[in-house]
Amino acid sequence: MRIATKGILAGLGLMLASSTQVLAQELTILWAEWDPANYLQELVNDYQKETGVTVRVETTPWPDFQTKAFTEFNAHGSAYDLVVGDSQWLGAGSTQGHYVELTDFVKEHNLTTAMAPATMKYYSEYPGGSGHYWAVPLEGDALGWAYRKDLFEDPTEMANFKAKYGYDLAVPQTFAQLLDIAEFFTRPEQNLYGAAVYTQNSGDGVVMGVENSVFAYGGSFGDYANFKVTGEINGPNSVKALEDYRRLFTYNPPGWGNAFFAEVNTAIAQGQAAMGMNFFAFLPSLINEATNPYAKNMGFFANPKGPNGDDYAALGGQGISVVSYSQNKDEAMKFLAWFVKPETQKRWAELGGYTCDAVLLASPEFRNATPYNEAFYQTMFKVRDFWALPEYAELLTEAADTFYPYVVDGQGTAQETLDSLASKWVDTLKTAGYDAK
């Protein structure tokens, strides 16, 4: 009798336990509102089929993304189990305890070799070189360029260009050529402008754009390991890069002072810009004939080299991390283990995600899948990133506030602008307790 009762109780307990488990079988991922998030939603459907765990991808618009995520982190909220966070969040995520450390997970799944090296370095490791990992690279991204083939390959344009600049009109190999081409196509009377770049200062728009130039020119945003700012951000290469970014801005459509990815794509789709700088993740809409009348004529290229032959581009993209306040951490880890499987990564790439899987990335299959994948592949091996300290948001806002008056309003000189940014950054870093120089 006793045994029977025990058995029944145990059975009941098991039922209860399993029923609570059923309740917990839902995971919520926070990401920004954009196409890759919808691809991810489609990808996780397969996971639901395999395991019965429902995964929902919750999205929030880009300008609020950082605020929203950190509001939730700082509230120690459990609304999200996983977050696909910007690379710069690693510092805050790791040192403030928002992220679960994934170092063991990374070792167990050999991610340091399975994923492209730059993606592990920038999307996962913190502090740099420490061997501590906090995320699984999810969406690789960087700044690339789109251009109008019909303009570039037009015989009259080609002849005129050659006559004016002395070399053939083609995809620019250097920033000097990029500037020539932008100048060449700037014709307000035809409603055509040379380029469309980022200028928005409420998020990271203008900073990303300047960064892209600064890295290519061999400049730097600082020696991140030694907190050295002076002489880096305001060094001669950085200054030249900022000057040329300002020049590039003058070849943009009128009123181009609040532009981010949507504006750049709109300018191209409406036939206003011959070239546009954008994150690879935003490029697919340019080959959609329903949204871009020039879809058939779009070409893409990786960031050109700077005057000294340096070849770099600014990194975007995100890794996925487990939120330490989540109540479903175990389920979340299981999900990550599924996500890093090569089959999953392959499916991810097919759906339109930018996989960071090193083998897949280098495969001809991937590189030829779309008109922009080849440029993406080239870019992902030459990326550099912004600061990833917990204080990165302050550095970013200061940079945006400092760049904007020079780039958009043409106030002061590039040297003055960067000198003032250097001194602001040193102050901010010192206040935060770093031995900044």
**Region of residue 261 (left: phi > 0; alpha: psi -120 to 50; beta: else):** alpha
Site string for another protein, 388-417 (x = CB under 8 A): --x--xx--x---x--xx--xx--------
Q: Give me the count of residues in the chain.
A: 437
Query: Rule CB under 8 A: which of 112-171 touch another protein?
Result: none
Cα–Cα dist 173/183, whole Å: 16
Closest distance to another protein from the beta carbon of 23 (Å): 16
Q: 215 or 386: whose CB is closer to another protein?
A: 386
Q: Does 373 bind another protein (CB under 8 A)?
A: no
Q: Does 255 bind another protein (CB under 8 A)?
A: yes
Q: Does 290 bind another protein (CB under 8 A)?
A: yes
Q: Does 266 bind another protein (CB under 8 A)?
A: yes
Site string for another protein, 73-112 (x = CB under 8 A): xxxxx-xx-----------x---xx---------------
Query: Rule CB under 8 A: which of 169-188 touch another protein?
Result: 188
Closest CA to 349 of 290, 262, 284, 289: 284
Contact 273, 196 (CB under 8 A): yes
Contact 268, 276 (CB under 8 A): yes
Strands (E) located in 323-431:
383-384
Q: Does 431 bind another protein (CB under 8 A)?
A: yes
From the list 220, 285, 373, 379, which residue makes contact with another protein (rule: CB under 8 A)?
285
Q: Does 67 bind another protein (CB under 8 A)?
A: yes
Kindly determine how many residues on this chain lie close enough to bind another protein according to the rule CB under 8 A: 84
Contact 138, 269 (CB under 8 A): no
From the list 127, 299, 307, 352, which residue makes contact with another protein (rule: CB under 8 A)?
352
Closest CA to 396 of 211, 124, 140, 141: 211
Closest distance to another protein from the beta carbon of 180 (Å): 24
Site string for another protein, 23-62 (x = CB under 8 A): -----x----xxx--xx-xx-xxxxxx----x---xxxxx
Closest distance to another protein from the beta carbon of 432 (Å): 9
Q: What is the DSSP string of 217-236?
A: TT--S-BTTTTB-TTTTTSH
Q: 307 or 352: whose CB is closer to another protein?
A: 352
Cα–Cα dist 222/422, whole Å: 9
Q: Which uninterrupted H or E stretch holds 347?
A: helix 342-351
- Alpha-carbon Rg for the chain, nearest whole angstrom, is 24
Closest distance to another protein from the beta carbon of 283 (Å): 7
From the list 87, 88, 201, 238, which residue makes contact with another protein (rule: CB under 8 A)?
201
In a 13 Å sphere around the CA of 186, the CA atoms on its Cβ side amount to 18
